[in-house]
Amino acid sequence: MPASYERAIVWLRRDLRLDDNAALAAAAAGSRSVLPVVVLDDDILASPSIGAPLVTAFLAAVASVRDSVRAMGGDLAILRGRPSDVIPAFAHRAGVQAVYYGIDYEPSARTRDREVSAALHRDGIHTHACLDHVYFGSDEVQRVDGSPFCIFSAYRRAWRERARRERRPPIASRAALRGKLQAPSGNADTGAMPRPDELGFSSFALPDAISEAAAARRLAAFASPAGAISDYARTRNLPAVDGTSRLSTHLRLGTLGIRTCVEAARRLRPHISAAARASVDAWVDELIWRDFYQMILDRFPHVAEGPFIPAMSRIRWRRSPEDFSAWCRGLTGYPLVDAAMRQLNTTGWMHNRLRMLVASFLSKDLLLDWRLGERYFETHLADADLAANNGGWQWCASTGTDPVPYFRIFNPIRQSETFDPEGAFIRRMLPELAAVPAPYIHAPWTMPPHVAAASRCRPGRDYPLPIVDHAAARGRALEAYRSARAFPGGDEAAAQGPRGRSV
Ligand SMILES: Cc1cc2nc3c(=O)[nH]c(=O)nc-3n(C[C@H](O)[C@H](O)[C@H](O)COP(=O)(O)OP(=O)(O)OC[C@H]3O[C@@H](n4cnc5c(N)ncnc54)[C@H](O)[C@@H]3O)c2cc1C
């Protein structure tokens, strides 16, 4: 296809990479030269739902994509301000005819993109929104009548069916960009990268490098015949084991493309055993969950504010700043819950099994509003993503689409015995319990005094006693959920999102 524009901007947001990038590929095909740009968005940076781990990861990803662009003879413009001001102004300075970007389903991003597009259109500049962040768009996997799936298993079936018919291989955007990347004229837009503290965030030491190259290395190691993917079905629930891909921050920021992930799994299948294939399929299911929650956010944007199931807004949550603080700091007295929260606080990442456990503990054992936990995760996860985070929290709190039934309440001791039987993970995260023998590691308050003395850990002094009794808390939660469901309409009342039909 001949290029129809002389010059175009690609506004990189959730797609901070050169390979498998839909907006870059479309711009390279449609324009003689391409100017990539990133915006340090004042509205996002001022938002209370943004935290140091995500900002640190974002800046690392921006720095790495800038290096890649420079290596190909161009440069990355880094703008600061409101996108609806700085993108049109930059487009003018650069004399471009079009702006390309990847679609973002977050409600605030939708509003922002409409504003930016309107401003550009007023100036006669074209915009092109490209599907990139998900494998299938929110209206590409749906019921025959066009309504969204709200049950994951039905969505997964339809997703897999469509993927069988319609393979979406990684897009060769890096090759397409050869000779096309430009630097903005003058160097006003390509100054030094700010540090997190210059943007008002404390510095956070991320455990892993965030770059396109680091993501590719991680994927290659994970999704190889000898990689952890082959045993994923068994090890994915064991927090002491490095059994999951750890690619969530890369997928969040787009240092890795979703098509590349699906393709890596597909390529592996013919070369591995049937058991390993089942593991690969289990991993792809997680990628489908990711698409599912993105779709839910787009089709039911009200979930960003409250429960998917309207009746669940009637739950009478407790108010206890003390309990919430103990949960945040990893001081509940339940070792696996506390180890999980310390993992989050120190690394900016938490194992999925533990995300489920601590979310259940907050919303059910402590009967605190799940939105408190959702917000805490948002500001402490490097992979913080509204769709996945909200979906995960609403699933655990039994307020969401296809959630865990409200009467299934995780037992924090049994979860600990099952998924960290020897306490290896607990000991790693909670040094005060390092010497507690395995039979007591899941419930240290049951240690006889002589064992506590030998372990140099006296419960109540060196490690908290449980802030809540699980059996009693379970009864309290069941009562609260039953009362909410007893209101007229109950939870059978269909969720009616502004963009969704009844379900
Ligand atoms: C309460 C709660 C909050 C969560 N918050 C987030 C969040 O803010 N950001 C985020 O990326 N994930 C979130 N998840 C999902 C999941 O816990 C993480 O994606 C996963 O732990 C990341 O580790 P990994 O990359 O090793 O995952 P893997 O097991 O290797 O999975 C591969 C990829 O699939 C996606 N994925 C996996 N599980 C899910 C899921 N349940 N929902 C949506 N996508 C999934 C992720 O992109 C992940 O990188 C949340 C889950 C819960 C229960």
Q: What integer is the mean pLDDT of 361-390?
A: 98
- Is the C-beta atom of 363 inside 6 A of ligand 1? no
Is 50 a domain residue? yes
State in Å: Cα 184 to ligand 1 middle. 37
- Is the C-beta atom of 245 inside 6 A of ligand 1? yes
State in Å: Cα 379 to ligand 1 middle. 16
Amino acid identity of 332?
Answer: T
Pick the last residue of a domain from 265, 299, 333: 299
What is the per-residue pLDDT for 493? Answer: 36
State in Å: Cα 232 to ligand 1 middle. 14
- Is the C-beta atom of 377 inside 6 A of ligand 1? yes
What is the per-residue pLDDT for 403? Answer: 78
CATH number, position 145 = 1.25.40.80
CATH number, position 41 = 3.40.50.620
347 Cβ neighbours under 8 A, 6+ residues apart: 206, 207
- Is the C-beta atom of 57 inside 6 A of ligand 1? no
- Is the C-beta atom of 293 inside 6 A of ligand 1? yes
CA separation for the pair 212, 68 (Å, rounded): 9
What digits encode the pLDDT tens for the residues 439-458? 999 999 999 999 999 999 99
- Same domain? For 343 and 294 the reply is no
Best of 244, 247, 248, 364 for a ligand 1 pocket test (most atoms within 8 Å of beta carbon):
248
Give the pLDDT band (50/70/90) at residue 494: very low
- Is the C-beta atom of 251 inside 6 A of ligand 1? yes
Q: Quick one: which of 222, 404, 400 has its CA closest to 306? A: 400
- Same domain? For 20 and 113 the reply is yes
CA 498 to each of CA 47, 288, 376: distance values in angstroms, whole numbers, following the listed order:
24, 24, 27
Work out which ligand 1 atom sits closest to the CA atom of 350: 21
CA separation for the pair 503, 484 (Å, rounded): 20
Residue 452: both structure tokens together? 């506590």
The model's pTM is 0.95
CA separation for the pair 228, 235 (Å, rounded): 8
Q: 497 pLDDT exceeds 80? A: no
Is 188 a domain residue? no
- Is the C-beta atom of 385 inside 6 A of ligand 1? yes
Q: What integer is the mean pLDDT of 477-494?
A: 69
What is the per-residue pLDDT for 187? Answer: 63
Q: Active-site residue numbers?
A: 286, 289, 317, 352, 370, 393
H/E element, 7: strand 5-11
Helix (H, G, I), strand (E, B) or coil at 304: helix
- Same domain? For 256 and 374 the reply is no
Measured by CA distance, the residue closest to atom 5 of ligand 1 is 389
- Is the C-beta atom of 359 inside 6 A of ligand 1? yes
Pick the last residue of a domain from 278, 299, 320: 299
What is the per-residue pLDDT for 292? Answer: 98
- Same domain? For 488 and 375 the reply is yes
- Same domain? For 149 and 124 the reply is no
What torsion, rounded to 10 degrees, do the Cα atoms 338, 340, 346, 349 define?
A: -160
- Same domain? For 258 and 114 the reply is no
State in Å: Cα 41 to ligand 1 middle. 25
What is the per-residue pLDDT for 485? Answer: 79
Average pLDDT of the chain is 94
- Same domain? For 225 and 354 the reply is no
Helix (H, G, I), strand (E, B) or coil at 85: helix
Is 5 a domain residue? yes
What is the per-residue pLDDT for 495? Answer: 37
Helix (H, G, I), strand (E, B) or coil at 79: strand
State in Å: Cα 248 to ligand 1 middle. 6
The total of other beta-carbon atoms located within 10 Å of residue 95's CB is 10
Give the pLDDT band (50/70/90) at residue 405: confident
Pick the last residue of a domain from 269, 299, 329: 299
Work out which ligand 1 atom sits closest to the CA atom of 391: 42
Is 76 a domain residue? yes
Helix (H, G, I), strand (E, B) or coil at 471: helix
* Percent of the chain predicted with pLDDT > 90: 90
User: For the chain, what is the domain count?
Assistant: 3
Q: 236 pLDDT exceeds 90? A: yes
State in Å: Cα 292 to ligand 1 middle. 12
CATH number, position 387 = 1.10.579.10
- Same domain? For 64 and 154 the reply is no
* Percent of the chain predicted with pLDDT > 70: 96
Residue 417: both structure tokens together? 């015995």
How many helices and strands in the chain, by DSSP H and E? 22, 5
Q: What integer is the mean pLDDT of 420-425?
A: 98
What is the per-residue pLDDT for 329? Answer: 98
What digits encode the pLDDT tens for the residues 196-223? 999 999 989 999 999 999 999 999 999 9
What is the per-residue pLDDT for 491? Answer: 42
Q: Quick one: which of 110, 76, 107, 69 has its CA closest to 94? A: 76
The total of other beta-carbon atoms located within 10 Å of residue 390's CB is 24
Is 305 a domain residue? no
* DSSP conformational letter for 404: P
What digits encode the pLDDT tens for the residues 324-375? 999 999 999 999 999 999 999 999 999 999 999 999 999 999 999 999 999 9
Give the pLDDT band (50/70/90) at residue 498: very low
CA angle 467, 473, 475 (to 5 degrees): 165
CA separation for the pair 394, 300 (Å, rounded): 13
Query: By residue range, what is the domain housing residue 425?
Result: 310-500
Q: 381 pLDDT exceeds 90? A: yes
Q: What integer is the mean pLDDT of 108-114?
A: 97
β-bridge mates for residue 408, sequence order? none
- Same domain? For 330 and 267 the reply is no
Is 54 a domain residue? yes
Give the pLDDT band (50/70/90) at residue 492: very low
Measured by CA distance, the residue closest to atom 52 of ligand 1 is 392
State in Å: Cα 242 to ligand 1 middle. 15
Is 189 a domain residue? no
Give the pLDDT band (50/70/90) at residue 404: confident
What digits encode the pLDDT tens for the residues 86-102? 999 999 999 999 999 99
What is the per-residue pLDDT for 247? Answer: 98
Helix (H, G, I), strand (E, B) or coil at 38: strand
Amino acid identity of 280?
Answer: V
CA separation for the pair 8, 99 (Å, rounded): 6
Strand order in the sheet with 126-130: 77-81, 31-41, 5-11, 98-102, 126-130
Is 174 a domain residue? no
- Same domain? For 235 and 346 the reply is no
What is the per-residue pLDDT for 189? Answer: 76
What digits encode the pLDDT tens for the residues 58-97? 999 999 999 999 999 999 999 999 999 999 999 999 999 9
What is the per-residue pLDDT for 487? Answer: 59
- Are the CB atoms for 307 and 313 separated by under 8 Å? yes
Q: What integer is the mean pLDDT of 229-242?
A: 97
Q: Quick one: which of 300, 238, 322, 283 has its CA closest to 107? A: 300
Best of 58, 152, 286, 295 for a ligand 1 pocket test (most atoms within 8 Å of beta carbon):
286
- Same domain? For 138 and 127 the reply is no
- Is the C-beta atom of 462 inside 6 A of ligand 1? no
Amino acid identity of 493?
Answer: A
CA separation for the pair 2, 126 (Å, rounded): 17
Q: 489 pLDDT exceeds 60? A: no
Work out which ligand 1 atom sits closest to the CA atom of 358: 1
Measured by CA distance, the residue closest to atom 24 of ligand 1 is 246
- Same domain? For 353 and 473 the reply is yes
